[in-house]
Amino acid sequence: PEELRAQLGDSLVAAALAVELDRPSGESPIHPWLDLLPPAQQLPLCWPLDAIEAMLGHLGAGKRLLRLRRELAYEYALLAPHLPTGLGEAAYVHASAYLLSRAYSIDGKLVLIPLIDMANHNDDVPYAVEKSDGVFTPADSLNLVLAAPRERGAQVFSSYGAHCSSDLFQCFGFTRRPARRLRPAVSG
């Protein structure tokens, strides 16, 4: 219904992705991409609530994850009557975790670009994903911009972007190593 679309917006993208995740292996038209993605156990948003609660004192992401899980439970309750029978909240949370870590925004709408997940990640590369200006590519597309020409067959990297450790943990399930602290030289 239109009022549900207006109220939930991007949640419908998560619902559609949840439907694809729930299909038997190989039956989804996007299964080659889905097969590349990490399983739910590796995504903190999908962890049992008691595991998330156990982190509360150790990482700022714990409170954010609990708040997000409450929001997702509310969205799922609104969507559930319109979803296929048997599609549970866990599938919706799993799909939402993928959106959180992989979606790009084009003109205020979330989009998934599976090809980007084919690139290995390296935060030392100055490549970026940006919205097209419409001159050389369609205006509603995204471009992977390389800082320098690449040789044919050379590996192309993507970056996780400028995220703090808490964001990286929430979205991807890992943190960066803390910078080594140098001890000041003591003279005398």
Domains, the chain: 2-172 (3.90.1410.10)
Instruction: Count CA atoms within 13 Å of residue 65 on its CB side.
Output: 31
- Low-confidence stretches of the chain (pLDDT < 70) are 1-7, 56-61, 117-118, 120, 126-129, 159-165, 174-188
Q: Given this model, what pLDDT does residue 10 score?
A: 78
H or E element that contains 98: helix 89-102
Q: Under the phi-then-psi rule, with left for phi > 0, alpha for psi from -120 to 50, and beta for the rest, what region is 154?
A: beta
- Report CA-CA distances (Å) from 61 to 65, 85, 96, 130: 6, 32, 16, 27
3-state secondary structure of 121: strand
Q: Given this model, what pLDDT does residue 150 score?
A: 78
List the beta strands (DSSP E) in the chain. Answer: 104-106, 109-111, 120-121, 128-131, 142-145, 157-158
Which has the closest alpha carbon to 96: 117, 116, 115, 110? Answer: 110
Q: Given this model, what pLDDT does residue 182 score?
A: 47
